[in-house]
Amino acid sequence: MNFRKNLFALVVAALLVSGCSSDDEKDNLTDTAQGADASTMPLNDGSMSGSQFGSETGAGGGYGSGSAANLGPEFSDPNNPLSKQVIYFDLDSAQVKQEYVPVVAAHANYLVGHPAQHVILAGNTDERGSSEYNISLGELRAKSVERMMRAQGVSASQLEVVSYGEEKPVATGHTEAAWRLNRRVEIGYQ
């Protein structure tokens, strides 16, 4: 089963990569020419390559050349809220904290301007408590972000919610310092 599914994933990845490379050529021309202003971006700059998960921990290496360019320079500008792709939560809470409202709003605004862009909202929790309850809690967190984005006009078809609960920690310690980094929703541009 694993083999078959992995093969499937590889094929999909290969299709995405090949799709991107052809898009890249025309998009890069458009993007650089127009300065990547979200409101003036063409609608067809679709399928991005590379995963942007866990951006606060730095690149895990090798997203492939040119993938960062697909998202435009505003995603790597630390002064731009789009550069933040992880939303953090309080213990046992799915409420988006005030400080992250502008971040979610910026991504929603970008997605409204790029209706072909698809994101996965991946909900996660810290390791405390029971693991299946945490799957549900992670999903509620991701759905909180989804609801805010939908309220701003992002199309349902652009958003997918998945929860990994406590199964995919980015910080491996067993103290609050690690837990606060793990209670998160990652906004993953696809």
Partner 1 sequence: MILATRIILISLMAALFSLAQAAGLTIEITKGSQTAVPIAVAPFAQQGSIGPLKLTDIINSDLGGSGFFKTLPEDDMLVKPSDPAKIDFKDWQVLGQDYLVIGQVVGVGNTFNIQFHLFNVHDGQLLMGYKLTAGANELRRAAHHISDLIYEKLTGRKGSFNTRIAYVTSVAKPSGKQYMLQVADADGYNPRTIAESPEPIMSPAWSPDGGKIAYVSFHTKRSEVFIQTLATGQRESVSASRGINGAPAFSPDGGKLALTLSKDGSPDVYVLNLSGRSLTRLTNSMSIDTEPSWSADGSSIVYTSDQGGKPQLYLIPATGGKSTRLTFQGDYNARGRFSPDGKSLAMVTASNGGYRIAVMDLATRTVNVLTDGPLDDSPSFSPNGSMILFSANSGGRSVLEEVATDGAMQQKLAFESGDVRQPVWGP
Choosing from 80, 83, 164, 170, the residue that interacts with partner 1 (CB under 8 A) is 164
Instruction: Yes or no: say if 131 and 165 are a contact pair by the CB < 8 Å rule.
Output: yes
Residue 63 within binding range of partner 1, rule CB under 8 A:
no
Rounded to whole angstroms, the Cα distance separating 155 from 112 reads 8
Q: Between 6 and 45, how does the x/- string for binding to partner 1 read (CB under 8 A)?
A: x--x------------------------------------
For residue 85, the minimal CB distance to partner 1 (Å) is: 17
- Scanning 44-183, the segments in alpha helix (DSSP H) are 67-70, 101-113, 131-151, 176-182
Which of 49, 85, 163, 182: binder of partner 1 (CB under 8 A)? 163
Residue 129's φ and ψ, nearest 5 degrees, are 85, -170
Please state, in angstroms and rounded to a whole number, the distance separating the CA atoms of residues 142 and 162. 7
Residue 168 is a binding residue for partner 1 (CB under 8 A)? yes
Residue 102 CA to residue 68 CA, distance in Å, equals 22
By CB under 8 A, is residue 2 in contact with partner 1?
A: yes
Q: Which stretch binds partner 1 (CB under 8 A): 41-49, 61-69, 102-110, 163-171?
A: 163-171
Going residue by residue from 128 to 157, which x/- string records binding to partner 1, judged by CB under 8 A?
xxxxxx-xxx-xx-----------------
Residues numbered 64-123 forming contacts with partner 1, rule: CB under 8 A:
92
- 161 makes contact with partner 1 (CB under 8 A): yes
Size (the chain), residues: 190
CB 141 within 8 A of CB 88: no
Per CB under 8 A, the segment of 19-27, 64-72, 100-108, 166-174 that binds partner 1 is 166-174
CA distances from 21 to 42, 48, 62, 99, 121 (A): 17, 9, 16, 36, 25
Q: Which residues sit at the interface with partner 1, rule CB under 8 A?
A: 1-2, 5-6, 9, 92, 127-133, 135-137, 139-140, 161-165, 167-168, 174
